[in-house]
Amino acid sequence: MEIIQTKLADCFIIKPTLFEDSRGFFYESFNQKKFESLTGVSVGFVQDNQAKSNYGILRGLHFQQGDDAQAKLVSVLQGKVLDVAVDIRPNSNTYGEYVAVELSGENHLQLFVPRGFAHGYSVLENNTLFFYKCDNYYCKEAEGGVIYNDAQLNIDWKIPEADMILSDKDKLLPKLA
């Protein structure tokens, strides 16, 4: 497992060690001891989620607030997404900055999104299977979000605006400011 530090503190790209031969491949998708040793971050995942989407779907930017905040370890089992994490920690030196990483069933990369971040992704291929682990349970009363097209963030979602498909809720999210 290789840990790649992004420009945002505690937000990591994880490149698993892949063992491949004529039968296919194997990799360890998560090992708590290795993760904690390599990142210095202690996390206890309690909930796994999956989503299936087609090209053009944009989900986010979402977060959980307060005691219900969530850290996430996200990956793609099939297909491809552009995964985005935005630092919304008020006292952070990188507040309002983001990282964007292409995750796919082919590259096997993962993104660790710490608590205090908004998270979203755009789907770049049909039949994409998205998987993520959370370190806290979902709480509807604690949910929040930031509008995907906030000019302050200026995120290139790698999908033309005309092709984007958003939920009604995501279309109404507020700006970061």
pLDDT digits (tens, 9 = 90+) for 55-102: 999 999 999 999 999 999 999 999 999 999 999 999 999 999 999 999
Structure tokens at 40: 């210095």
Active site residue 121: no
Among 108, 119, 121, 132, the one annotated catalytic: 132
Among 62, 108, 119, 138, the one annotated catalytic: 62
The pLDDT assigned to 175 comes to: 97
CATH code for residues 2-171: 2.60.120.10
pLDDT digits (tens, 9 = 90+) for 151-164: 999 999 999 999 99
Torsion sign over Cα 107, 148, 127, 28: positive
The pLDDT assigned to 39 comes to: 95
Torsion sign over Cα 94, 61, 46, 39: negative
Asked whether the beta carbons of 56 and 67 are under 8 A apart, the reply is no
Name the residue ranges covered by the structural domains of the chain.
2-171
Q: Which residues contact 143 (CB under 8 A, 6 or more apart)?
A: 62, 63, 64, 65
pLDDT digits (tens, 9 = 90+) for 94-116: 999 999 999 999 999 999 999 99
Active site residue 132: yes
User: What is the pLDDT of the chain when averaged over all its residues?
Assistant: 96
Q: Give residue for tokens 């082919």.
A: 106
